[in-house]
C-alpha cells in the first residue's frame, strides 16, 4: 500500500474529486475483472499528469497509465501504486482543415464522429476499437486494413524524464501492436492526425459496414479485451486456437469465445486468475499442437511475472 501521506499529496496535486483510493479495477476494464488500485487518478490537466508522474518517479511509487482499459488484464490482488487514467477529462478534439488535434483521453469513437462531421475520411477503421487515442497510439491499434500509424503525423508525450516532447511518426516507430512510447515508458498526451476530405455519406457507410462486420464476427455482448493474443507471423491466432480444439474451453468463468476463438470472454463471474490460467492453457496447447508461440496482445498488470 502506498502511505497515507502520499495519498494526501496526490489529492493536493489532483484536486478533490480526481483521486479515488482502493478503487476496484474491475470497474475500469472491459474484462470487468481486477482488484483494487491503491490510488486511481483522473487528472484534468496536462500539468496534473506531469505532477503525478514526477511525484511517483521521485517517490519510487509504481505508476500505471491507462486509457479505457480495453486491452488490460489486471490481477485479482489489484495494483500497489498509482493508476493514472487519461480519459474524458483530457479528451478535446479539434479539427483544423485536414488536421485533427486530439487529446489522448478522447475515445476513437469520438474522434471518428468528429472526422465524420468535418467530412474527413481515413479514421473509419478505428471507430469500433473501444479505446482511447492514447491507447491506440501506444498499441498502434488497427483493424480492417488500417492502423493508427497510417493517419498519425505526430504525438505529444511526457517523456520518462518528465519533459513534454513532440515525436514525429518516425520517432514513434510504430510496428505491429507496438510503439517506441510503449516500450520506453512515455505517457501519450495527444496526437495530430492527418485525414482526407471525403463525402460524409460515404464515410458513414464505411463506418456502418465495419460495425456490422464486427457485430457479426465478435462477441460484443460479453466482456473481453478484444483479441487476446497477437497474430503470429503467417497465422491467425483465432484459427490456431480453434484448430487446437479450444473453442468454448473454460476455466472458471473465463471462456474462449464460441463466436470468435481469438477472444477470451468473461462469461459471468470470471476472475483475473481464471482468464490468466485459460490464456496459459491455450498458449501451451497451441505450442504443443502447432509449434507456434502465442504472445499476449492484452497487457497483464499486477501478476508479478508480467
Ligand X SMILES: Cc1cc2nc3c(=O)[nH]c(=O)nc-3n(C[C@H](O)[C@H](O)[C@H](O)COP(=O)(O)OP(=O)(O)OC[C@H]3O[C@@H](n4cnc5c(N)ncnc54)[C@H](O)[C@@H]3O)c2cc1C
Q: Taking the complex as a whole, how short is the minimal distance between the CB of residue 68 and ligand X, in angstroms?
A: 3
Look at residue 124 and give its three-state secondary structure: helix
Window contacting ligand X (CB under 6 A); options: 17-25, 69-77, 160-168, 194-202: 69-77
The three cell numbers locating residue 60:
519510487
Query: Which of the stretches 33-41, 93-101, 182-190, 265-273 binds ligand X when contact is defined by CB under 6 A?
Result: 182-190
Mark whether 227 is an active-site residue. Answer: yes
| CB nearer to ligand X: pick between 249 and 301 | 301
Are the beta carbons of 248 and 261 closer than 8 angstroms? Answer: no
Shortest Cβ 238–ligand X spacing (Å)? 12
Q: Which is nearer to ligand X, 105 or 121 (CB)?
A: 105
By CB under 6 A, is residue 67 in contact with ligand X? yes
Q: Of 227, 231, 276, 299, which is the active-site residue? A: 227
Computed on alpha carbons and rounded to an integer, the radius of gyration of the chain in Å comes to: 19
Scanning the structure block, which residue is given the C-alpha cell 476455466?
251
- Pattern 188-217, ligand X, x by CB under 6 A: x-----------------------------
Cα within 13 Å of Cα(33), Cβ side: 31
Q: For residue 47, give the C-alpha cell.
A: 500539468
- 71 in contact with ligand X (CB under 6 A): yes
Question: Catalytic annotation on 9?
Answer: no
Give the helix/strand (H/E) hosting 48.
helix 46-59
Closest to ligand X by CB, 257 vs 271, is: 257
Which CB sits closer to ligand X, 172 or 188?
188
- Counting other chains too, the contacts that 10-18 makes at CB distance below 8 Å and 24 or more residues apart are 10/39, 10/41, 10/52, 10/55, 10/82, 13/48, 13/51, 13/52, 13/55, 14/41, 14/42, 14/43, 14/44, 14/48, 14/52, 15/44, 15/48, 18/42, 18/43, 18/44, 18/48, 18/89
Measured distance CA(99)–CA(262) in Å, rounded = 35
* Residue 33 found at the interface with ligand X (CB under 6 A): no
Query: One symbol per residue from 112 to 151: x for binding ligand X (CB under 6 A), - otherwise; what is it?
Result: -----------------xxxx-xxx-xx-xxx--------
- Catalytic residue, from 32, 255, 297, 299: name it: 297
Examine residue 46 and tell whether it contacts ligand X (CB under 6 A).
no
As a whole number of angstroms, the distance between CA 157 and CA 137 comes to 10
**Residues with active-site annotation:** 177, 227, 297
Q: Site residues (CB under 6 A) for ligand X? A: 30, 65-72, 86, 104, 129-132, 134-136, 138-139, 141-143, 182, 187-188, 218, 220, 224-226, 299
Amino acid at each position: 500500500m502506498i502511505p497515507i501521506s502520499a495519498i494526501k499529496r496526490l489529492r493536493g496535486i489532483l484536486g478533490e474529486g480526481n483521486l479515488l483510493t482502493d478503487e476496484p479495477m474491475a470497474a475500469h476494464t472491459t474484462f470487468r475483472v481486477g482488484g483494487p488500485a491503491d490510488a486511481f487518478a483522473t487528472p484534468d490537466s496536462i500539468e496534473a499528469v506531469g505532477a503525478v508522474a514526477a511525484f511517483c518517479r521521485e517517490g519510487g511509487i509504481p505508476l500505471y497509465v491507462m486509457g479505457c482499459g480495453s486491452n488490460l488484464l489486471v490481477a485479482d490482488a489489484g495494483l500497489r501504486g498509482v493508476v493514472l487514467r487519461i480519459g474524458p477529462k483530457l479528451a478535446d478534439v479539434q479539427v483544423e482543415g485536414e488536421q485533427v488535434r486530439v487529446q489522448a483521453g478522447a475515445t476513437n469513437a469520438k474522434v471518428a464522429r468528429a472526422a465524420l462531421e468535418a467530412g474527413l475520411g481515413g479514421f473509419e477503421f478505428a471507430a469500433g476499437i473501444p479505446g482511447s487515442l492514447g491507447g491506440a497510439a501506444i498499441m498502434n491499434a488497427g483493424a480492417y486494413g488500417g492502423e493508427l500509424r497510417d493517419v498519425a503525423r505526430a504525438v505529444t508525450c511526457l517523456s520518462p524524464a518528465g519533459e513534454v516532447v513532440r515525436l514525429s511518426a518516425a520517432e514513434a516507430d510504430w510496428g505491429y501492436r507496438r510503439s517506441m512510447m510503449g516500450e520506453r515508458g512515455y505517457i501519450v498526451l495527444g496526437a495530430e492526425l492527418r485525414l482526407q476530405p471525403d463525402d460524409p455519406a460515404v464515410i458513414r457507410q464505411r463506418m456502418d459496414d465495419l460495425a456490422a462486420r464486427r457485430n457479426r464476427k465478435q462477441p460484443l455482448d460479453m466482456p473481453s479485451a478484444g483479441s487476446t493474443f497477437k497474430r503470429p507471423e503467417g497465422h491467425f491466432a483465432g484459427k490456431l486456437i480453434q484448430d487446437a480444439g479450444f473453442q468454448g474451453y473454460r476455466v472458471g468463468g473465463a471462456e474462449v469465445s464460441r463466436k470468435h476463438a481469438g477472444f477470451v470472454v468473461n462469461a459471468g463471474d470470471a476472475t483475473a486468475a481464471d482468464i490468466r490460467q485459460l490464456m496459459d492453457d491455450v498458449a501451451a496447447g497451441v505450442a504443443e499442437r502447432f509449434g507456434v508461440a502465442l504472445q499476449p496482445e492484452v497487457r497483464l498488470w499486477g501478476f508479478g511475472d508480467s
